[in-house]
């Protein structure tokens, strides 16, 4: 913990650092290289460039700084830039005091030696839901606390289902969902749209079905994994899902649903505002598991972390800042702003009390799972790449679901 940060970076991390040189950021209150003045100023980096210096978010950061007796110098980066910037700063022993990053990045930064553990920085994570906290754990250690989460569920068009004679309460598992899609097609409407594009978005959307079958990311070609990919393949073959899913991002998939022709769309919490503008009556259903119950969907959202510092005396104040940002009242305000479900039961209850439409999302988040959970850490990106390639291969007809996943598993090994 006391060694200069730069000596702790792995070779892989240094490769990523090289990509950071051309990155840009939007700054509120100072440039990204500022380190602080004698402990009176603490730096916070976040992935929310949409929030300017006069936003509620920036004011919250300043308020937590005032409460801790320090001035806050905040810099906001695009999500894609932030990990590279954090690695580069660590190499230069110039890390931010508080770093807010996308949850799958935590394990990468932890492995590179960039982050302190909660055991080291004394951050209390006892109130966070264990399934959400797991995304920031590696090797039995925890490297921060979630500030909020989003995940996937099924939006449904009530008008389309009514005309098809489908009672949404009957949709409890894959068999009943597929039966509903058949009724919708018979009624002249379209079944379900999702994103199966050959990127992380495709893996992200496939994971609820993969996990919902009982499959594990360490064995892509298990019978359970094959059944999940076969489900999607059968939907395309039967005309229940369009061939456009092969190229759909989550945005274009939503645009298809917004036409009002589809019964279902797999999408996330972030589409709630668009759902209200869609012009038709909609509902939300947690994605069902193969034989019932709620499938584990992958979690999105950020972790608040405390990077390694050459001056370890800064950790106590950093801990105060993180504790302030993630206390019950501030989480409620922050997660409302970010359209996130809170990471604690107490705040989730408050969210549902103020907006009943969040109830199915809270259920989905409680069943959700981090992509790097199960101690996968930095192994996940390689697994994910082979997963989305298998999905593309099977849905395009290039290979059977079984052969596609067999090839994927061989490539991971």
List beta partners, residue 72: 42
Quote the pLDDT of residue 8.
Answer: 37
Cα(390)–Cα(401) distance, integer angstroms: 7
- Tell me how crowded residue 357 is: count the other CB atoms within 10 A of its CB: 13
Q: Exposed/middle/buried for 277, CB within 10 Å: 0-12, 13-18, 19+?
A: exposed
Task: List every span in the chain annotated with CATH 3.40.190.10.
Answer: 5-149+300-367, 152-297+376-412
Level-2 CATH architecture, domain 152-297+376-412: 3-Layer(aba) Sandwich (3.40)
Q: Which fold has domain 5-149+300-367?
A: D-Maltodextrin-Binding Protein; domain 2 (3.40.190)
Residue 236: which of 397, 390, 403 has the closest Cα?
Answer: 397
Which residues make Cβ contacts (< 8 Å) with residue 219, sequence separation at least 6?
Answer: 225, 409
- Tell me how crowded residue 177 is: count the other CB atoms within 10 A of its CB: 24
Q: Edge-to-edge strand order for the sheet containing 282-285?
A: 190-193, 262-268, 152-157, 282-285
Q: What count of Cα atoms within 13 Å lies in the side-chain half-sphere of residue 300?
A: 21
- Tell me how crowded residue 84 is: count the other CB atoms within 10 A of its CB: 19
Cα(135)–Cα(109) distance, integer angstroms: 13
Kindly tell me the sign of the dihedral angle through the C-alpha atoms of 136, 268, 330, 86. positive
> What is the mean pLDDT for each group of 10 consecutive residues in the chain (413 residues)?
32 36 35 46 95 93 96 92 93 96 94 96 95 93 96 98 98 98 98 97 97 98 98 98 97 97 96 93 97 96 96 95 95 88 96 94 95 90 96 98 98 93
pTM tops 0.75: yes
Residue 210: which of 371, 92, 91, 7 has the closest Cα?
Answer: 371
């Amino acid at each position: 913990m006391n060694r200069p940060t730069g000596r702790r970076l792995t070779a892989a991390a240094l490769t990523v650092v090289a990509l950071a040189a051309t990155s840009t950021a939007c700054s509120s209150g100072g440039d990204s290289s500022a380190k602080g003045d004698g402990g009176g100023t603490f730096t916070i980096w976040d992935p929310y460039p949409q929030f300017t210096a006069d936003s509620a978010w920036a004011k919250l950061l300043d308020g937590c700084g005032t409460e801790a007796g320090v001035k806050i110098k905040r810099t906001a980066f695009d999500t894609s830039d932030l990990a590279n910037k954090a690695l580069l700063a660590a190499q230069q022993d110039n890390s931010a005091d508080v770093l807010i990053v996308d949850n799958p990045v935590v394990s990468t930064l932890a492995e590179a030696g960039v982050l302190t553990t909660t055991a080291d920085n004394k951050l209390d994570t006892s109130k966070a839901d264990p399934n959400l906290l797991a995304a920031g754990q590696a090797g039995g250690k925890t490297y921060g606390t979630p500030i909020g989460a989003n995940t996937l569920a099924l939006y449904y068009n009530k008008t389309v289902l009514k005309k098809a004679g489908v009672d949404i309460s009957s949709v409890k598992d894959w068999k009943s969902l597929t039966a509903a899609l058949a009724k919708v097609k018979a009624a002249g409407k379209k079944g379900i749209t999702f994103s199966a594009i050959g990127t992380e978005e495709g893996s992200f959307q496939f994971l609820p079905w993969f996990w919902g079958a009982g499959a594990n990311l360490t064995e892509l070609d298990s019978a359970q994994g094959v059944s999940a990919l076969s489900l999607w393949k059968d939907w395309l073959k039967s005309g229940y899902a369009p061939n456009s899913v092969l190229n759909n991002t989550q945005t274009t998939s939503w645009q298809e649903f917004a036409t009002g022709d589809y019964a279902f769309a797999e999408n996330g919490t972030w589409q709630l505002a668009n759902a209200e503008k869609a012009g038709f009556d909609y509902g939300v259903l947690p994605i069902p598991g193969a034989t019932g119950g709620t499938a584990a969907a992958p979690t999105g959202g950020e972790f608040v972390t405390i990077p390694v510092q050459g001056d370890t005396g800064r950790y106590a104040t950093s801990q105060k800042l993180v504790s302030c940002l993630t206390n019950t009242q501030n989480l409620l305000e922050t997660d409302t702003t970010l359209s996130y479900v809170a990471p604690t039961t107490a705040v989730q209850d408050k969210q549902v009390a103020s907006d009943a439409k969040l109830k199915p999302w809270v259920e989905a988040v409680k069943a959700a799972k981090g992509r790097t959970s199960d101690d996968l850490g930095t192994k996940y990106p390689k697994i994910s790449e082979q997963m989305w390639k298998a999905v593309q291969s099977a849905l395009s007809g290039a290979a059977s679901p079984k052969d596609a996943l067999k090839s994927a598993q061989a490539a991971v090994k």
